[in-house]
Amino acid sequence: MNTTVLQQQEYDVVIMGAGFAGLCQARHLMLNIPNIKVALIDPRPEERSNKDLKIGESTVEITSLLICKELGLNDYMIENHPPKAGLNFHWPKQPVNTKTIDDYYHIWINRQTPIPSFQMNRQKFERDVLKMNKNMGATFYHGRVLDVDLTPGDALHLVKVKLEDQYIELKAKHVVDAAGRKFIIGHKTDNILSDSESLMGVNTGSAWVRVKNVDRTIFHDGYDPYGTSVSHYYATNHFFGKGHWLWMIPIDSDTQEISIGIIHHHDVIAAKEINTKEKFEAFIKANHRLLYDLIQSGENIDFHYLPKVAHTSKMLFSPDNWYVMGDAAGIFDAFYSLGTTMISIAIESTTEIIRAKLAGEADVEKKRAAYNDFNLTYMNSINTFVTHHSKHLGHASIMSWRIYFEYMWWFGILVPMYVGKWHLDLDFLQKFKGPFKGFLRGLIPEVYKQFNTLVDRGANIGFMDPMRADQLIGNYYTFKHFDDFLENSKLEPQRCNVFGSMKHTLFYISVWYVMFQWKAFGLAGLLKPRNLYYFCQLLLLVVTTALGEMIYKFKTWGVPENTQIEEMREEFKSYQYQAELQSWMETASALDGQ
């Protein structure tokens, strides 16, 4: 073997890892920074095999917007990956009887969601996008990163790589670790946190199988004329029980391939009880017979077990021009499929930092620090939203209230924020980071502790359905958006009125909070000083965001909602109807004579 070290040319960005995060980051950089030189390194070949350890990925709104809108892959996704019909949730009516779908209580998605999403075949996606990136000019090295010399400030980093028959060294102005659980930069900088305290007590494992040619009618025959206008099968289906939840995701329409997996909490289900295919299937058979029969109806592709799912990072974007994202940065739980949303926001933040750095902009360090802080806060929110799951998941009443509560934040604040690129606006981040960090430390954990009390009591406070408009006052439902950003294509930065969305959403969260206290604890709950404090805190932020909305409307008075549409309307002012057709018969006659 040739062991000569070949000194390679310098790159603007070297990305370690060519999975979902690395490939999307490379494409986003090349689309937004002209002539940027990008290299990708991955030990897996370009033609990903069926043995590639990917379980598929169910995208939600933010990730779908990144893939389809920001990366320009909408047509590709429609043509190559199954559509997703939202999220469904199922709880056994009686744990001893789970043979059919009628043996469960449900939250069914009842209509197409406003922003389409997909069930992604990761193996196919990564293979195809790698080819696209190479065609755009990215360099791909099929090799393994041996080491990376991280230098301070703006000095060039050095990435040492072993190819099949030689060693190379790549110089890089910026280095991105998207290599997953290898934690290349994480280990190098002592950046990874995996202890229970740093993860707010989250301690989970995961097992999953992929199966093809299943009889999907075992799950549902597809006939539900009075319940929904979309598919039940093509949704991401969540099945719940004590200390666990399971996903059921269709990965490939042609082969009827599905992924079925579990997130289990070690304090309820020990790893040794579920860490083999036989134990996993025995668990499914005993607790969710419907899914067991579905698995048995098809052909097994593989089984995997991951004993520890969750970890996080101290820093995501370093002043020394290194970045971590995806599994290399943090993950907590597959619930709600929010892992790729962390990647999506990190990708846009990283591109903007690198763009500003390469352009020599004066405020780049201010941006880096603000984006690092916001992305860590967002990761912290994902961590918060899976705390106490081991206690709540199997309780249908409490978990339905919890899902409704979390949907409100997602659709009312986080999605509009992403649509309007407010996560890249320094002024917005500065003004609202305090209140939302306060919610993550105060209101939200307090609500979860109150849920714990109700679970211990065995309370039934009713069943909340976030899809429907009959749960709160004013025909509110969690999908409702309070700005016409979709209808009027307000897709340019800062054109989506996030302040209006926040104002209305925080008001309805306060209504939800009052309703919850009354249902759960009665008048005593409503009048408890701590609960009154959080209620007043919500109303105060409603007023604050209302003022923010007034200022926003003043600043954007007369600004087009969509520049492209405005330009077309301006051009249309000179339009004159011309009632004539262009001649074509001579051409047709000539062709006939050939």
Instruction: Return left, alpha or beta for 53; rule: phi > 0 is left, psi -120 to 50 is alpha, else beta.
Output: beta
Map 535-557 to HEC letters: HHHHHHHHHHHHHHHHHHHHHCC
What the block records as the tokens of 20 is 């979902």
Question: What average pLDDT score do residues 160-173 get?
Answer: 94
∠340-342-346 over CA atoms, to 5°? Answer: 115
Give the residue-averaged pLDDT of 1-21. Answer: 82
Average pLDDT over residues 395-407: 98
Residue 575 pLDDT exceeds 70: yes
What integer is the mean pLDDT of 413-435? 95
> How do strand 117-120 and strand 57-58 relate by DSSP bridges?
antiparallel
3-state secondary structure of 570: helix
**Rounded distance between C-alpha atoms, residue 424 and residue 435, angstroms:** 18
Residue 464 pLDDT more than 80? yes
Q: Is the pLDDT of residue 5 over 70?
A: no
Q: Which residues contact 314 (CB under 8 A, 6 or more apart)?
A: 191, 192, 193
Show me where the domains of the chain are located: 5-306, 395-578
Q: Is the pLDDT of residue 1 over 80?
A: no
Residue 571 has pLDDT above 80, yes or no: yes
Of the candidates 420, 378, 438, 410, the one whose C-alpha atom is nearest the C-alpha of residue 509 is 410
Long-range contacts: 226-229, Cβ < 8 Å, 24+? Answer: 227/108, 227/110, 228/108, 228/109, 228/110, 228/111, 229/110, 229/111, 229/112
pLDDT above 50 (res 79): yes
Which neighbouring-strand residues pair with 169? Answer: 7, 160
Tokens of 557: 């008075």
Q: Looking up tokens 């005593």, which residue turns up?
A: 524
Task: Give the contacts of 436 (CB within 8 A, at least 6 positions apart).
Answer: 377, 381
Q: Can you give the length of the chain in residues?
A: 594
CB of 224 closer than 8 Å to CB of 111: no
Contact between 85 and 235 under an 8 Å Cβ cutoff? The reply is: yes
Please name which of 497, 498, 496, 502 lies closest in space to residue 540, comparing C-alpha atoms. Answer: 502
Q: What's the CATH number of domain 5-306, 2.70.98.40, 3.30.360.10, 3.40.630.10, 3.50.50.60?
A: 3.50.50.60
Residues 6+ apart with CB under 8 A from 568: none
Q: What is the pLDDT of residues 39-52, one digit of tens each?
A: 999 999 888 766 66
DSSP class per residue in 335-364: GGG-HHHHHHHHHHHHHHHHHHHHHT-TTH
Mean pLDDT for the chain overall: 95
336 secondary structure, DSSP code: G
Instruction: Enumerate the β-bridge partners of residue 106.
Output: 90
471 near 477, Cβ under 8 Å?
A: yes
| Structure confidence at residue 9 (pLDDT) | 87
Residue 502 has which token pair? 């926040």
Tens of pLDDT, residues 88-130: 999 999 999 999 999 999 999 999 889 999 999 888 999 999 9
Look up residue 248 and give its two tokens: 């059921």
Q: What is the mean pLDDT of residues 360-385?
A: 97
In this predicted structure, which of 40-49, 345-354, 377-386 has the lowest mean pLDDT?
40-49
Give the phi and the psi of residue 166 in degrees, each rounded to 5.
-160, 165
Tokens of 108: 């069914």
What percent of the chain has a predicted confidence (pLDDT) above 70?
Answer: 97
Residue type, 62: I
Does the pLDDT value for residue 294 go beyond 50?
Answer: yes
What's the start-to-end Cα distance of the chain, in Å? 62
Say what the pLDDT of residue 48 is. 74
Max intra-chain CA distance, the chain: 92
Tokens found for residue 490: 């307000």
- 410 contacts: CB under 8 Å, gap ≥ 6: 336, 478
289 pLDDT band, cuts 50/70/90, is very high
Q: In this predicted model, which residue has the larger pLDDT, 47 or 210?
A: 210
The pLDDT, as a whole number, for residue 297 is 97
The reported pLDDT for the residue numbered 589 is: 81
Question: Three-state SS string across 446-479, please?
Answer: HHHHHHHHHHHHCCCCCCCCCCCCCCCHHHCCCC
Question: Mean per-residue pLDDT for 244-273?
Answer: 95
What is the average per-residue pLDDT within 201-229? 95
What pLDDT score was predicted for residue 213?
96
Of 499, 526, 352, 525, the closest CA to residue 413 belongs to 499
Residue 402 pLDDT class (50, 70, 90 cuts) = very high
Q: What is the pLDDT of residue 172?
A: 97
What pLDDT sits at residue 52?
61
* Model confidence, pTM: 0.95
DSSP 3-state of 16: strand
What DSSP line would sit under 320-332, residue for residue? TSEEE-GGGT-B-
Is the pLDDT at 380 greater than 60? The verdict is yes
Q: Would you say the C-alpha torsion 179, 183, 186, 191 has a positive or negative sign?
A: positive
Minimal CA–CA distance to 231: which of 117, 115, 111, 60? Answer: 111
- Flag whether pLDDT at 181 surpasses 80: yes
Query: Judging by DSSP bridges, how do beta strands 167-177 and 5-16 pair with one another?
Result: parallel
